A and B are shown apart, each in its own frame.
Chain A
Amino acid sequence: MIIQKVIKGISRISENEAIQFFQQGIVCNWWRKVNPLPSHEIPLRLTPRNLDWHQNHYTVADPSEDGEEFGRHTPFISTTAGTVERDTFTKTNIMHPAWEVALPFATENLKTDGYLFYCYLFIIGRPAVPLQAFAEEIRELNVYTSFSAFQPEGEITAKIIIPPAQIEYAEFWRADDVMDAVDQGILPTPAKTIRNNLFISPDIYNNVRDLLR
């Protein structure tokens, strides 16, 4: 098992709402929709079909949910680790640090302010879609027979909830400040960082895989 550090970008939330995520965890849209969550339905929703829809048909009307857009009831949570292996760069010619991938999602393509949540997830190194405890590592990029146009480098898909203990801190990013910085050829930095007192560090465990920064 690997402990993988990831980033989750969320836009249009206040600092109080960010702090609430520290206390309650980051939940999937399905949970936000049906709160409280019917636990007996979890195994029925963590399916390869739904994972494919989460990745490739996020805004498509789902016939199994009365035509509701799939993203509104997805049991999955997209996060990113950047390019996890540097060797991949010599094959794809593309490499982004995790915050560069997460930031457009957190700021609606650099239009609004947003938060980056730094977390960790558990991965077991092979597909385990029905198992809530383990995130799915969408890393088999560019296999010719299973190419996905939407498959970004280093995407890690969490399930149902990222628990409070696995959320380390959050960064507040101002979109205007980001654009001003890059216009001057300067790497942008967050406007504020807030730490989670409920965080439990995974460092005492083995196999912690860091973000690409």
Chain B
Amino acid sequence: MRLDSEVISREHRFTKGLGTAHLLAAQEIKNPLHHFDHLAFSATNFRRAAADALLLNDFDSAQNLFIQAGKVYSTMRMPYAFCMLELAGATEIAHHFWNSIVEQEQASKEKYQTHINKQHVYTLLFYAAEISKRKNPGSLGNLPERIRNELESARPVPLGVLGLPVGAYLNLSTALLESETSIEEALLPFVTAYNSAILQASASLHHWRQMSLPLHPAEPDLLAVLVLTHVALQQRRRSVIKILRQMPLSWQAVTVIKEFLRMRFREEESERHI
């Protein structure tokens, strides 16, 4: 992929260490604002280090770092933690966080804390992938519906590194829940955005090789969506890999996605070529 592995290794070492350093700093700081900042810095760095590990083909390290990132995001009550934990395959931890989110939302006297309002798109995706098909989903009441209704008014708001609107996430969660809705159509904005961004980024060899990009070649936002989609599709005996095969992707995107899915799922269908 014409990336400089020495640059990636150095960045991996730097961000992994910073993730730990900021976490320790957060534990020692009493000021709530600075405490939050250090947690945010820690989660961001663990996330980046995990993505670097994917590029270095070290899935064990990536897994551990995504779990650490997920734990820090969950400490901050950010549903984005679901994405990190699903990337690692840490389903048990993710379910534990789900239970705490449900408890908090049901107990809360106000409808939602506005600062995590938009983040609940990730809650909906996790619900669609992991919870909705359970025989005993637990006493959710109408929580998923409430979240969806709340988010409808935020449809145009951009979210995540790729800047996809909240509406794209809502459409995908609907598609994962309802067999009448096309998953291919719902997944297309995510894959297209990532593909365009990768093409733009890799067009500048200088930036690309030096990894001086906010978008990571192994962009966790995109990979998490693919994982959640695949988990949901498995219950219908379908695969996200087959869907991706029909999409016109650049070779750079194919390389990253294929390798990640192979590492993450490590099962027969991940050996099929996309």
Contacts and interface: CB of A to CB of B under 8 A. Distances in A.
Interface stretch (A13-21, A39-47, A120-128, A144-152): A144-152
A96 B163 contact: no
B17 A87 contact: no
B225 to A, nearest CB: 13
Contact of A109 (B11, B16, B196): B11
A153 B14 CA distance: 19
Q: Chain B's interface: helix, strand, loop or mixed, by majority?
A: helix
Contacts of B11: 104, 109-110
A150 B212 contact: yes
B40 interface: yes
B214 A151 contact: yes
Q: Chain A's interface: helix, strand, loop or mixed, by majority?
A: loop
Given A57-B204, A110-B14, A144 B165 contact: yes
B204 A90 contact: no
Interface stretch (A23-31, A158-166, A179-187, A191-199): A179-187
Nearest to A212: B37
A183 B19 CA distance: 11
A95 B22 CA distance: 12
Nearest to A110: B10
A64 interface: no
Contact of B44 (A96, A104, A185, A187): A96
Given A91-B157, A186-B21, A150 B204 contact: yes
B223 interface: no
Interface in B199-231: 200-201, 204-207, 210-215, 221
Interface string B131-174: 00000000000000000000000000111111111000000000
Given A97-B41, A144-B165, A185-B17, A91 B158 contact: yes
B40 A109 contact: no
Nearest to B114: A90
Interface residues of B, number: 54
Given A56-B204, A185-B20, A212-B37, A109 B163 contact: no
Most buried by A among B18, B162, B205, B210: B18
A108 to B, nearest CB: 9
Interface in A44-63: 56-60
A147 B193 contact: yes
B204 to A, nearest CB: 6
Contact of B205 (A59, A93, A184): A59
A58 B206 contact: yes
B78 interface: yes
A94 B215 contact: no
B161 A142 contact: yes
30 contacts: A56-B200, A59-B206, A59-B207, A86-B37, A87-B115, A90-B119, A91-B157, A91-B159, A93-B43, A93-B44, A93-B47, A93-B160, A93-B221, A95-B40, A95-B41, A95-B44, A96-B41, A109-B11, A141-B163, A142-B162, A147-B163, A149-B215, A150-B207, A152-B213, A152-B214, A179-B10, A179-B13, A181-B17, A182-B18, A184-B17
Interface of A: 56-60, 86-87, 89-97, 100, 104-105, 109-111, 141-144, 147-153, 178-179, 181-188, 212-213
Interchain residue pairs A-B with the least CB separation, the first 7 = A182-B17, A142-B163, A149-B201, A185-B20, A59-B206, A95-B40, A149-B200
Given A56-B200, A91-B118, 17 more contacts: A58-B204, A90-B116, A91-B157, A93-B43, A93-B78, A104-B212, A142-B159, A142-B163, A149-B198, A149-B215, A151-B214, A152-B212, A152-B213, A182-B14, A183-B13, A185-B21, A186-B21
Interface of B: 7, 10-11, 13-14, 16-18, 20-22, 24-25, 36-37, 40-41, 43-45, 47, 73, 78, 80, 115-116, 118-119, 157-165, 193, 196-198, 200-201, 204-207, 210-215, 221
